[in-house]
Amino acid sequence: MDADNLPPGWRQALGPAMAAPALHDLIAWLDAEEAAGKAIFPPGDCRLRAFALTPLDAVRVVILGQDPYHGIGQAMGLCFAVPEGVAVPPSLANIYRELESDCGIPRPGHGDLQAWARQGVLLLNTALTVEAGKAGSHAGLGWEALTDAAIAAVAARPEPTVFILWGAHAQAKADRVAGVSDGRHLVIRSPHPSPLSAYRGFFGSRPFSRANTFLLANGRGAIDWQP
């Protein structure tokens, strides 16, 4: 995990969190876990991909997830995304269903969301690693200090930005946005797109068109949501 290759804005914003002893301890623990034979996802060179693909000064939308997919070959360092050739997971399938309903974009046959990231959509999980087969296994181990710093850095910028918070875990971060934003950002909250909760208000929430309406009204340009 090489922070030196991050865009300058992120290096500055995340520098204190990355230099903290707690994060160094976490990285050492992850190395030890892998040395002991445990599979950790995503691979080390993908764990900061969200920051690498979406520089701080380019962020227009933040979509917040909880932790990476825990199946082999799924996690790629972008929340909800999977590489080309990997089956689209159920939550992402529901995201695509809402995208089609909201914007008329046909559901793609792949789960690679790098096209969104390169347009300024920060696809961030609050924990950046997970043990194979154990969802949530690395929550609360220290990644949150880094990802909370990222959320705060985006919220502190003057440019109006959209924060899309799906599910209770993501919505718990809303105060970190409101506390520094003076109301200049748009926060869109709805249930998580997982099959367990999508019918409780995720479907029909129209996050994509609402985000673009806000961005256009604030002179920041629309996102092309075609993955």
Helix ranges, the chain (H): 8-19, 21-35, 49-53, 90-103, 114-117, 143-156, 167-171, 174-181, 207-217
Catalytic residues: 67
Any domain includes 224: no
Number of structural domains found in the chain: 1
Handedness of CA 33, 89, 61, 120 (dihedral sign): positive
Whole-model pTM? 0.95
pLDDT band at 188 (very low <50, low <70, confident <90, very high): very high
List pLDDT tens digits, range 164-175: 999 888 888 887
Closest CA to 123 of 64, 174, 38, 68: 64
Residues 166, 95: contact at Cβ < 8 Å?
no
* Sequence-ordered list of residues with C-beta below 8 angstroms from that of 200, at least 6 positions apart, any chain: 191
DSSP lists the bridge partners of residue 64 as 124, 165
**In the prediction, which pLDDT does 1 show?**
57
Maximum Cα–Cα distance for the chain, whole Å? Answer: 52
Question: How far is residue 2 CA from its own chain's centroid?
Answer: 19
**Which residue segment(s) compose the domain that 53 sits in?**
8-218
Q: Give the least confident one: 109-123, 141-155, 166-180.
A: 166-180
CATH of the domain at 134: 3.40.470.10
Q: Which of 160-174, 179-193, 210-224 has the lowest mean pLDDT?
A: 179-193
Contact assessment for residue 83 and residue 52, using Cβ atoms and an 8 Å cutoff: no
How far is the C-alpha of 111 from the C-alpha of 92, rounded, in Å?
7
Q: Is residue 69 part of a domain?
A: yes
**Inside any domain, residue 105:** yes
The reported pLDDT for the residue numbered 180 is: 54
In a domain, 37, yes or no: yes
pLDDT digit string, tens, across residues 1-17: 567 789 999 999 999 99
In this predicted model, what pLDDT tens digit does every residue of 33-91 receive, in sequence order? Answer: 999 999 999 999 999 999 999 999 999 999 999 899 999 999 999 999 999 999 999 99
